[in-house]
Amino acid sequence: MSFAQPYFSKHHFLMPQITTPPPRGLSFIVVIPAYLEKDITQTLLSLKNTVPVQGVTEVLIIVNFSESDSQENKKINRTAYQVLVDWCRNHSSSSMQFYPLLAPDLPDKHAGAGLARKIGMDEASYRFGWVDYPDGIILSLDADALVEASYFQAVKIEMDAFPASGGCILRYAHPISGTEFPEAVYKAITLYELHLRYYKNALQYSGFPYAYYTIGSCFGVRAGFYVQQGGMNRRKAGEDFYFLNKLFPHRSFLEINSTCVYPSPRPSSRVPFGTGPVIQKIVNTGNMNFLTYNLQAFVALKSFFNLVPELHSMPEEKLKHTIETFPRSLQNFLRNNGFNKKLKEIRKNTASQVTFIKRFFIWFDGFNVIKFLNYSHVEYYPRIDVVEAATELLSVQQEGITDKDPRSLLLFLRKRDYRTKSLSVNW
């Protein structure tokens, strides 16, 4: 029985489309959702021009649209698919094979980035299942992103060195200057990426064990781990965040900084939230004061996360007193979300402190962090300008940077993110 068979008996959405048997040595499959993409050849060429690695790579482009899309949009997508059929036929080789897949008239309830990514990742899992290779690596990419020449080489070296890892997070950098877009777009993406990096670094400062970027074009996962964890979700946006945060507590993830992915800064309204809509809103309004989470919310989380190991066996009276020392925002959030009941349940089902910590952070995951941040910023903390927030965080961490230029702050945080390689916690 293939490792993937139990998954496909329960979770598959569409029947596999590729009937050609997988080649010997299949090691990578890249999944690229495509919607209203008139030309994605630059992305495909950046993959084709990478340094060759041992084994065979397949690239799956999932051209998709919903049942209620306009006839014009459907025509654009069908035309793009036909163009891709010819392009893929002409550019495939024995070491890299391109497959366009058409996913038309998807149900409105689920149609979107998540379902398209799921269709592609399920197809990839089926391919690896066909040759019963659970360590095959599924890489997620976007149709407007470019990759460095070392893309596959870096992933192979790092993943081979850590065979127990479940997946990887890849270094990324949005273009923040150039001539392809108006200057306002580059200013907007500088602020938005600064927000992403501030959030990740503030989360790390709080002591949260899974402080990693969750960007759809910048991660990979082993096929066996993918099916074991129930596959990708069908969310219209944010599918990458929910998918990766589901995976992080169960197997270690590598942070690979020896290569880079370059997501596009282009404005877009094709998804309800994410990079494209944020950039479009900033450009349309001309408001370059980007507000982000207040650092004091992360300070509150830090007081909580520092005590998690002790919660395993803390006496009830001490626990009650300890909770009363937390900031009011955190006290109320925990009470409103049934903390005491959940803590008892976790204690009851864990024998050791190590298993307690792991189970605790399966409950208080990245989604609960976001819930707390959104809750606490309604009444307790004002959102603050991202430049002010990043400067305050760096000051608290004694980095000694005083430059308040957004670009300078972003470049500083990029360098700090990349100067060390890390492996996610695997309790």
Given this model, what pLDDT does residue 12 score? Answer: 67
What pLDDT digit, counting tens, does each position of 383-415 carry? 999 999 999 999 998 877 777 899 999 999 999
Under a CB-based contact definition with an 8 Å cutoff, are residues 367 and 245 in contact? Answer: yes
CA distance 162 to 26: 19
CA distances from 258 to 10, 153, 240, 410 (A): 37, 9, 22, 19
The pair of structure tokens assigned to 285 is 């309004």
Over 90: is that where the pLDDT of 72 sits?
yes
Mean pLDDT of 13-17: 80
Residue 427 has pLDDT above 60, yes or no: no
User: Considering the chain, what is the average pLDDT of its residues?
Assistant: 91
What is the dihedral angle through the alpha carbons of 226, 230, 231, 234, rounded to the nearest 10 degrees? -160
CA distance 170 to 216: 10
Mean pLDDT of 314-342: 91
How much is the pLDDT for 292?
96
Q: Are 3 and 121 in contact (CB under 8 A)?
A: no
| Spatial CA neighbour of 162 closest among 131, 137, 130 | 137
So what's the pLDDT on residue 414? 95
Q: What is the pLDDT of residue 271?
A: 61
State pLDDT tens for residues 231-259.
Answer: 888 887 788 888 999 999 999 999 999 99
Structure tokens at 371: 């819930």
CA end-to-end span of the chain, whole Å?
A: 30
Asked if 62 and 116 touch (Cβ cutoff 8 Å), the reply is yes
Judge whether 261 and 170 are in contact, CB under 8 Å: yes
Q: What would the pLDDT profile of 180-194 be if each residue is shown by its tens digit?
A: 999 999 999 999 999
User: Residue 235 has what pLDDT?
Assistant: 84
Share of the chain above pLDDT 90, in %: 76
Which pair of structure tokens corresponds to residue 258? 């020896």
Non-local CB neighbours of 412 within 8 Å, separated by 6+ positions: 394, 399, 401, 403
Q: Domain spanning 5-11+25-292 has what CATH number?
A: 3.90.550.10
Residue 85 φ/ψ, nearest 5 degrees: -55, -50
Which pLDDT score is estimated for 320?
Answer: 87
Quote the pLDDT of residue 140: 97
Helix or strand or coil: residue 96? strand
What are the structural domain ranges in the chain?
Answer: 5-11+25-292, 295-379
Q: Are 169 and 68 in contact (CB under 8 A)?
A: no
Residue 239 CB-density burial (10 A; 0-12 exposed, 13-18 middle, 19+ buried): buried
Whether the per-residue pLDDT at 270 is higher than 80: the answer is no
Place of tokens 């408001």: 287
What is the predicted pLDDT for the residue at 425?
46
Task: Give the tens place of pLDDT for each residue, 277-289.
Answer: 888 888 888 777 8
Give the model's pLDDT for residue 421: 52
What digits encode the pLDDT tens for the residues 345-386?
999 999 899 999 999 999 999 999 999 999 999 989 999 999
